[in-house]
Amino acid sequence: MSTHLPVLQVVVPLLAAPVCALIRNARAAAVIAVLASWATLAIALSLLGDVMSAGVISYAIGDWVPPIGIEYRVDIVNAWVLVIVSTIASVVAPYMITSVADEVARGRIPLFYAAYLLCLCGLLGITITGDVFNVFVFLEISSLSAYALIAMGTRRRALTAAFRYLIMGSVGATFIVIGIGLLYVMTGSLNMADLAVLLPEVWDSRTVKVAYGFLGVGFCLKLALFPLHLWLPNAYAFAPSAVTAFMASTATKVAVYMLLRFFLTIFGAPFSFGVMALDRVLLPLALVAIVSMSLVAIFQVDVKRLLAYSSVAQIGYMVLGLSFASVTGLTATLLHLFNHALMKGALFMAMGCVVYRIGSVHIDAMAGLGKRMPWTMAAFVLGGLSLVGVPLTVGFVSKWFLILGALERGWWPVAVIVLLASVLALVYVWRVVEAAYFRPYGGDEGGPREAPWRLLVPTWALVGANLYFGISAVRTAQVAERAAEVLMTGVGP
């Protein structure tokens, strides 16, 4: 079966989703979701191993030879992203069992798991496919299930947040379809590797440039780059906690991957940086995102929304790495995909623990929780330190490579801004820490206790990963660097 691994990566969650919907038993559905998530992780790890040793894997769906048929194509870049997505899925899935039982209406729980698995299937599909239209199909699978997941939040504002996300997300996806259509008009192909060969012949055409613009706006909407981020804060703040943890660590990462794949592999780095000046467009946007969104985060009173704004700022870091147009910069981007998934996953899961016990993440409601829920808040502190970029955490590793990339280009003001933004991150993390540890507990004696271990174990698994990959960053950095080289050279076939 090992030759079928690329397709199984997508088919396992795709098969598990209808089974969850059919059995309509909450506990059984949860078990299926957890098993399916773990299976995807096993497949992703073995794919990464294969790719590291044997190079690109190509899988022809339905025995149709590419470029005629749909091809699943795994190289080191998407194997890396597959590992990120499935790692988060397999940590969040066990967390869901307890968290979702608390936050979602009982009758909807099997459907919740079905939607979660479809979302996972979509995200993995976007990452693994080598066909541009297939990207759109999987994008919509993941987005539609994400809208449904967000709408299952407990408060009514979840509905408006989901609606707003639906409108903006659909516009973004439609822009992507327009771009793909224009590419097809020019080349007659939908296969990524084939497009990479055919496109240089038609670089000069205005249609290709227009396609580039449409695709760019579509991706930036999906990855919530600064001026197009408006859907994100409310969607993350009002979704069920487990959904927020999952989406914040995977959905935007996959969108960044799409951007890299289209602009560097298909169009090629020479076109993106040489003809379209992508770096000069993205650099100011990334910097504005980093500074302004960190500032906005400082003034939030809802901690989930605070973290959501911080996510927009962190996306700025990823895009910043891309705008350096160098292998070091891209290494920082790819590393930060993984590292940010680890830290935001841990932080949002800690907030899920708080929601489980006190039903709110308002900063005043969290006063004195440091003593009441020591493990939960300790997880938050460690995740927060990682977000700031303190040495020995993963956040430090990404910032290190970012600053290295900036200095390599001789852009020391950018490096200074990155460091200053870390101080801003310290301020918003500190606000929560101050409330939790230095303010007295306001409620009665029989108040909240520590969150159950079923929530704490997954949370601490991610916190542990934050520390582990922060201390021994060699392996992750190696993989990210090789992936960055693949993207920059744009090998195509």
Partner 1 sequence: MRLDLFVSHYNYWVVIFLMMVGFYILISRGNLIKKIVGLNVFQTAVFMLYISMGKITGGTPPILVNPKGAGEGHNGAEAGPNGAEAGLGGTEALQEPAAEVVYSNPLPHVLILTAIVVGIATTSLGLALAVRIKEAYGTMEEDEINRIEAETEAAE
Partner 2 sequence: MREEIIVRVGAKFLAPFIIMFALYVHFHGDYSPGGGFQAGVILAAAFALLALVYGLEAVQRVLPLWFTRMCAALGVLIFAGVGVVTMLLGHNYLGYNALAADPTHPEHGQHYGILLVELGVLVTVFGVMVTVFYHFAGRGRRDP
Cβ at position 441, least distance to partner 2 in Å: 42
Q: Which is nearer to partner 2, 8 or 223 (CB)?
A: 8
- 133 contributes a contact to partner 1 by CB under 8 A: yes
Cβ at position 62, least distance to partner 2 in Å: 4
Cβ at position 287, least distance to partner 1 in Å: 28
End-to-end CA distance of the chain: 25
- 202 contributes a contact to partner 1 by CB under 8 A: no
Q: Which is nearer to partner 1, 247 or 488 (CB)?
A: 247
- 178 contributes a contact to partner 1 by CB under 8 A: yes
CB-based contacts of 478, cutoff 8 Å, min separation 6 = none
Give the footprint of partner 2 on this chain (CB under 8 A).
1, 4, 7, 11, 14-15, 17-19, 21-22, 59-63, 114
CB-based contacts of 489-492 (< 8 A; 24+ apart in sequence)? 489/269, 490/196, 490/264, 490/265, 490/268, 490/269, 490/270, 492/193, 492/196, 492/197, 492/265
- Please tell me the chain's helix, strand, coil percentages from 3-state DSSP, rounded to the nearest 5: 80, 5, 15
* Options 15-23, 185-193, 287-295, 432-440: segment touching partner 1 (CB under 8 A): 185-193
Choose which of 80, 147, 257, 401 interacts with partner 1 (CB under 8 A): 147
- 358 contributes a contact to partner 1 by CB under 8 A: no
Amino acid letter for position 123: L
Q: Which is nearer to partner 2, 123 or 461 (CB)?
A: 123
Distance CA 188, CA 354 (A): 53
Q: Say if CB 347 and CB 383 are below 8 A apart.
A: yes
CB-based contacts of 335, cutoff 8 Å, min separation 6 = 397, 398, 401, 473, 476, 477, 480
CA 286 to centroid of chain Cα atoms: 17
Q: Which of residues 51-90 bind partner 1 (CB under 8 A)?
A: 64, 67-69
Q: Which is nearer to partner 2, 21 or 275 (CB)?
A: 21
- 102 contributes a contact to partner 1 by CB under 8 A: no
- 277 contributes a contact to partner 1 by CB under 8 A: no
Q: Say if CB 470 and CB 396 are below 8 A apart.
A: yes
Query: Which residues of the chain form contacts with partner 1 (CB under 8 A)?
Result: 64, 67-69, 133, 136-137, 140, 144, 147-148, 151, 156-157, 159-160, 162-163, 166-167, 170-171, 173-174, 177-178, 181, 184-185, 188, 190, 362
